[in-house]
Amino acid sequence: MSATTPIASDIARMQRASFLVAAVAGVLLLIGALVDFQRFLQAYLVGYLMWLGPTLGSLAIVMLHNMTGGKWGFAIRRLLEAGMRNVPLMAVLFLPLLLGVTQLYEWAHVEHDPIIEAKRAYLNVPFFALRALIFFAVWYGLSTAMLRLAEKYDRTLSIPALRKLKGYSGLGLVAYVMTMSFASFDWGMSLEPHWFSTIYGVHFVVGQVLSTLCLAIVAASRLKRVEPFSRWLERSHFHDLGNLLLAFVMLWAYISFSQFLIIWSGNLPEETPWYLNRLGFGWQTFAMILVLGHFAAPFVILLLRRSKRNARVLATLAMALFALRFVDYYWLLAPAFHHGEFHPSWMDAVAPIGVGALWMGMFLRNTRGRPLVSLQDSKLLQQLEEAPSAG
Amino acid sequence: MFGNPKVKGPVFGLLAEYEDGNALLDAIRHGRSAGYERMEAYTPLPMHEVFEALGDKNRLPLLVLFGGIAGAVTGFALQYWSHVIHYPYNIGGRPLNSWPSFIVVMFELTILFAALTAVFGMLLLNGLPRPHHPVFDVPGFEEASHSRFFLLVPAYDPEFHMERTKQMLSATATVQLSEVPNP
Amino acid sequence: MSQPTQQPPGSPPIIAPGHTISSVSDKITSIVLKRHTPRGWYVGFAISFALMMVMLGSIAKLLFEGVGVWGLNVPVGWGFAIINFVWWIGIGHAGTLISAILLLFRQEWRTSINRFAEAMTLFAVACAGVFPLLHVGRPWLAYWLLPYPNTMSLTPQFRSPLLWDVFAVSTYATVSLLFWYIGLVPDLASLRDRAKSRFFKTVYGIFALGWRGAATHWERYETAYLLLAGLATPLVISVHTVVSFDFAVSIIPGWHATIFPPYFVAGAIYSGFAMVMTLAIPLRKVYGLQDFITMRHLQNMAKVILATGLIVAYGYAMEVFFAWYSANPYERGMAWNRMTGPFAWSYWALMLCNVITPQFLWLKKVRNNVALLFLICLIVNVGMWLERFVIVVTSLSRDFLPSSWDTYAGTVWDWSLYVGTMGLFGTLLFLFIRFLPMISIFEMRTLVPHSKQKAPGEGEAS
């Protein structure tokens, strides 16, 4: 776990590769932006929101784990903490979107639309920017507070520190869900300013946790191949993580289907265009891929006990599911830009890779100099699970 | 499975009583190593280790899977037949095959069929209900539902032999050894 | 002597120290088998039974005169019947949740309350069922809702959420009954073997199905129980989802919202846990069950109530925000009418009961105070009834056409039926407490130290 172990050089190598990919993608995207700034923004938004997923999802899972305890959490805790440290990175990466807000969002440049005018008090550029500032302030505050409180508890192992950790986690989860919901309305839903769905925020929150679980499982299974983690990470860790993944896959499907059925049955002209746009013009292929790949296949595979207890099978599934998370974001967001047609651009693929490579490089950098698993955790386990929660 | 074979003769089997689960487990291992394959244990609480030690099989999950699939197929067939084949009628401009609406009932029937299979499959495989069983005639067996553990070596076990089996069971930590009368 | 791996210093245990397999069995069976019945039982049963008579009287009046005796009118075609139906169904959900979901999550603390919670589910579903059955107007023809070959050559309308309800609720009732009964079988065998009177020996014997605790039986039994838990979990979520669809797939402002499914499910869990606490707190006192239903149970349930209460509050917040954000005059009008219209009292009372009250549960002091917990749970029960009242009445009383606007109030027959179903619930509950073990004996045995065996499903949750 110190800098001399093979895993450390492994990480250094992956980190260099990540930054290299990020640099190449960055140059390409810069060229793309100069050629067609609007098209760049559209591709970039999808890539950005995709990688905001594991950043904030890490924060959410850490807070959830602080409150519930459970062995599964200790297996991935350090990885999640490294993910959480990427909040400032995501804040910096938000700047292009803020710069391009008028080109990206219809409400920011269309005038004389009575429906948009009626919600102008919310949908206007200064308030949009202010909200973004608040969101990032809250997320940064939460992630640093969680890291500090956890670190303090690790050091002292005192019950008051634990109570504080648990209490702040509860409040933090409330803050995260509220801010992320409104962030999803701002950055995703308002792309089609006439349309609205009250469950949209929940869809985003669930998606973020799902993305994070996928990445964490992949990372943990890689760690499992290396000493000393191979001794510490057990089958039951992966079993629990697999169950959690299954629960969130089902939750995702539940939310997606409920929304579809309610809008399909209501059949209102202000709502159905959203689906009509996404179930035709080539977009239906993505919808089908999501139904089968994002729900049906993982559902069946994760029902089997054997596949959950096998780190390799689970990691392969998680990797595929993470790739499908991109399809979900793409299907959710991109049809807003081309009404009634399907016009992919090379930037649609390069943007998520570029943002992802940078994210990954920073993530790997965050893991360095810190233990990948906390040795105290095995002792903490019981106390965290059993101690009465904070007041 | 499906109850037990008939036993001829005055003795249904031998029943040994134990004070705790570990003594019972040791006895089962002892019996298995002596070649007894058809033993049955009675415990006041579920003990997975005892089942494993006895070396039996459990096919219930597969049955339930088929039950669930049957429910899903029935659910969709019922609705499709109702609204597309039997009585096609335009209601609110919805398509005849309104599959998004059909998913709910399909789901409920999947659960219903699977649950019924789980319960009745379990009873069937266990040979229940069976209000009377020879072991009930052994005095003190009512403790099996309270706090005691029992091991039965039935007469239909190929290895069963009155004297040898008695010796085998006496060698375990049994607190009481009884003959189960065959009604 | 407490569970060594489960027991940190200072936190309340899930089973009080000093118990053995034998003492647990004795203590629980004796509640059922000992002759003496506490006076409180007679009093409670008498009150419940009297209220049940009120219900029967109210039903008689209804059947004699028709649904006109209720307060329904033309825009408000759904009134108390649907409010009470949703309220009762929601209460029932906690039972399934405690017995199924907590089993899958390997939460051992559920063991001492699951039997009781499952019974609560069954009785709550029975109470819920009364309302739609009567609301159809001619209850004797309620079987028309089922698909069966008939001379009219008709089939029911499967695109209607009301029919989904028929399937969801009847499946739910069936599976809950099976789950509860299957869980009871080994305990019925214990009662059979302990009962002194020949009559009870026979009755318990019949229902015990000849259970004799064979290890092979236990194994399949545990599998079946675990599978039922696995099936009941999505089922319980689907039931309240379907209930929410009753509203959400329509296009009525205030009903047609995509947040409804998760928000209704959370609300159901919220009210259900509140009801479990409302019943468990007095019961553990009267029957001296503090050893089995410990402070830890009450604290954990309080946390669940807080968490689900927050989800419900999120639902309210989204409703209000999107009513404005939709820029749809009907949606905005609906929200404004809720807050300032003739039923504003119900909306603000709802906020007080469901949003403000549970926030006290953040404080550990409150979670440790049984009297305060009891009070909060009572308030939540009222709040959840108000929630359905607000949803049903405010939206319906303001139709799209102002000329059809009307007001709504329940009549004495509405109220008597509602209060009467509480009598039905109480009657069934008191009979259950008297004649069946209200705590699962065999599962409690698995919690006793030195029996290292696992509870059903433990370690096999998939």
Residue C362 DSSP symbol: G
Percent of chain A with pLDDT over 70: 92
> What mean pLDDT do residues C112-118 have?
78
Confidence grade of residue C452 (pLDDT, cut at 50, 70, 90)? very low
CB–CB contact C238 B146 (8 Å): no
Q: Name the nearest CA neighbour of A212 among A14, A51, A43, A85.
A: A51
pLDDT tens per residue, range A362-381:
998 888 777 666 544 544 44
Amino acid residing at B67: G
Percent of chain A with pLDDT over 90: 47
CA of A25: how far to CAs of A200, A248, A328, A349, in Å?
30, 31, 22, 10
Among chain C residues, the shortest Cα distance to A195 is held by C326
CB B13 within 8 A of CB B114: no
User: In chain A, what is the greatest distance between 2 CA atoms, to the nearest angstrom?
Assistant: 65
d(CA C419, CA C442): 36
- Residue ranges per domain, chain C? 21-440+454-458
Structure tokens at C412: 């004495």
Residue B90 lies in domain: 60-125
> What mean pLDDT do residues C40-53 have?
90
Structure tokens at C404: 């059809």
Q: What pLDDT score does C73 carry? A: 86
> What mean pLDDT do residues A218-241 have?
78
| Confidence check: pLDDT of C6 > 50 | no
| Confidence check: pLDDT of A10 > 60 | yes
- ipTM for the whole complex: 0.88
From chain C, the residues in CB contact with A267 under 8 A are 251
Tell whether B105 and B147 lie within a shared domain: no
Q: How far is A117 from chain C (nearest CA, A)?
A: 9
Count of beta carbons in the 10 Å neighbourhood of residue C64: 8
> What mean pLDDT do residues C390-405 have?
88
CB–CB contact B114 C227 (8 Å): yes
pLDDT tens per residue, range C412-446:
999 999 999 999 999 998 888 887 777 777 777 77
pLDDT tens per residue, range A300-337:
888 887 888 888 888 999 999 999 999 999 999 989 88
| Confidence check: pLDDT of C111 > 80 | no
pLDDT tens per residue, range C401-410:
888 888 888 8
Q: Name the nearest CA neighbour of A230 among A3, A5, A4.
A: A5
By the 10 Å C-beta count (0-12 exposed, 13-18 middle, 19+ buried), A385 is classed as middle
Helix boundaries (H) for A188-234: 200-224, 229-232
| Confidence check: pLDDT of A158 > 90 | no
d(CA A163, CA A390): 4
Q: Say which of C171, C220, C453 has its CB closest to residue B112.
A: C171
Tell whether B154 and B115 lie within a shared domain: no
Q: How far is B93 from chain A (nearest CA, A)?
A: 10
Q: Name the nearest CA neighbour of A205 among A74, A342, A385, A49.
A: A49
pLDDT tens per residue, range A258-310:
999 999 998 888 889 899 889 888 888 999 999 999 998 999 888 887 888 88
pLDDT tens per residue, range A101-150:
998 998 988 888 888 988 989 999 999 999 999 999 999 999 999 988 88
CB–CB contact B101 A261 (8 Å): yes
> What mean pLDDT do residues C218-247 have?
88
- In this prediction the pTM is 0.87
Q: What pLDDT score does C458 carry? A: 37
Chains touching chain C, criterion 3+ CB pairs below 8 Å: A, B
pLDDT tens per residue, range C13-23:
566 666 676 77
Tell whether B53 and B64 lie within a shared domain: no
Q: What pLDDT score does C462 carry? A: 37
Residues of chain B with pLDDT under 70: 1-7, 53, 55
Confidence grade of residue A163 (pLDDT, cut at 50, 70, 90)? confident
Tell whether B118 and B149 lie within a shared domain: no
Tell whether B65 and B121 lie within a shared domain: yes
| Confidence check: pLDDT of C12 > 60 | no
Amino acid residing at A5: T
CB A226 within 8 A of CB A372: no
Amino acid residing at A268: L
| Confidence check: pLDDT of A16 > 60 | yes
Q: Which of residues 323-352 of C touch A (CB under 8 A)?
A: 324-328
d(CA C454, CA C446): 6
From chain A, the residues in CB contact with C237 under 8 A are 254
Q: Name the nearest CA neighbour of A204 among A222, A186, A192.
A: A186
DSSP labels, C7-68: --TTS--SS-TT--HHHHHHHHHHHHHSS---HHHHHHHHHHHHHHHHHHHHHHHHHHH-GG
Among B83, B99, B125, where does a domain finish? Answer: B125
Interface-testing mutation among C219, C242, C448, C458, with chain B (most B C-beta atoms within 10 A): C219
d(CA C306, CA C323): 26
| Confidence check: pLDDT of A390 > 70 | no
Superfamily the domain C21-440+454-458 falls into: Formate dehydrogenase/DMSO reductase domain (1.20.1630.10)
CATH number, domain at B24? 3.30.70
pLDDT: which is higher, C17 or C288: C288
From chain C, the residues in CB contact with B23 under 8 A are none
> What mean pLDDT do residues A91-109 have?
91
Structure tokens at C380: 């939540």
Q: Is residue B70 part of a domain?
A: yes
| Confidence check: pLDDT of A384 > 50 | no
- What φ, ψ does residue B4 adopt, rounded to 5°? -115, 160
Q: Which value, in Å, is the radius of gyration of the alpha carbons in chain C?
A: 23
CA of A184: how far to CAs of A50, A135, A200, C315, in Å?
12, 11, 7, 16
d(CA A27, CA A274): 34
Q: What pLDDT score does A46 carry? A: 94
Helix boundaries (H) for chain B: 21-33, 48-54, 60-80, 99-126, 162-170
Cα A378 from chain centre: 28
Strand partners, B14: B153, B179
Q: How far is B97 from chain A (nearest CA, A)?
A: 13
Sign of the Cα torsion A230, A233, A239, A242 reads negative
Q: Is residue B78 part of a domain?
A: yes
Mean pLDDT (chain A, rounded): 86
Q: What pLDDT score does C34 carry? A: 66
Interface-testing mutation among A256, A262, A264, A300, with chain B (most B C-beta atoms within 10 A): A264
State the total domains in chain B: 2
d(CA B10, CA B179): 10
d(CA C284, CA A70): 29
Burial C392-417 (b: 16+ CB within 10 A, else e): bbbbbbbeeeeeeeeebebeebbebb
CB–CB contact C155 B101 (8 Å): no
pLDDT tens per residue, range C184-193:
888 888 888 7
Those residues with Cβ within 8 angstroms of residue C248's Cβ, 6 or more apart along the chain or in another chain = A262, C255, C256, C257, C258, C260, C261
Helix boundaries (H) for A311-374: 311-333, 346-367
Q: Which of residues 349-408 of C touch A (CB under 8 A)?
A: 362-365
Cα C437 from chain centre: 19
From chain B, the residues in CB contact with C242 under 8 A are 104, 108
Q: What pLDDT score does C164 carry? A: 92
Q: What pLDDT score does A227 carry? A: 67
d(CA C276, CA A289): 43
CB–CB contact B51 C242 (8 Å): no
Q: What pLDDT score does C59 carry? A: 92
Helix boundaries (H) for B88-135: 99-126
Relative to beta strand B176-181, strand B11-18 is antiparallel
d(CA C15, CA C21): 12
Strand ranges for A108-162 from DSSP E:
none
Strand partners, B178: B15
> What mean pLDDT do residues A49-66 have?
92
CB–CB contact A258 C10 (8 Å): no
Q: Is residue B4 part of a domain?
A: no
Q: Is residue B95 part of a domain?
A: yes
pLDDT: which is higher, C459 or B79: B79
| Confidence check: pLDDT of A66 > 80 | yes
Q: Which of A163-172, A232-241, C258-267 has the lowest mean pLDDT?
A: A232-241
Tell whether B26 and B53 lie within a shared domain: yes
Q: Which of A74-78, A87-91, A257-261, C449-453 has the lowest mean pLDDT?
A: C449-453
Among chain A residues, the shortest Cα distance to B61 is held by A304
DSSP labels, C109-148: GGHHHHHHHHHHHHHHHHHHHHHHHHHTS-GGGGGGGS--
CB B65 within 8 A of CB B41: no
Q: How far is A261 from chain B (nearest CA, A)?
A: 6
Tell whether B68 and B53 lie within a shared domain: no
Q: Is residue B2 part of a domain?
A: no
Mean pLDDT (chain C, rounded): 83
From chain A, the residues in CB contact with B104 under 8 A are 261
CB–CB contact B100 A261 (8 Å): yes
Confidence grade of residue C35 (pLDDT, cut at 50, 70, 90)? low
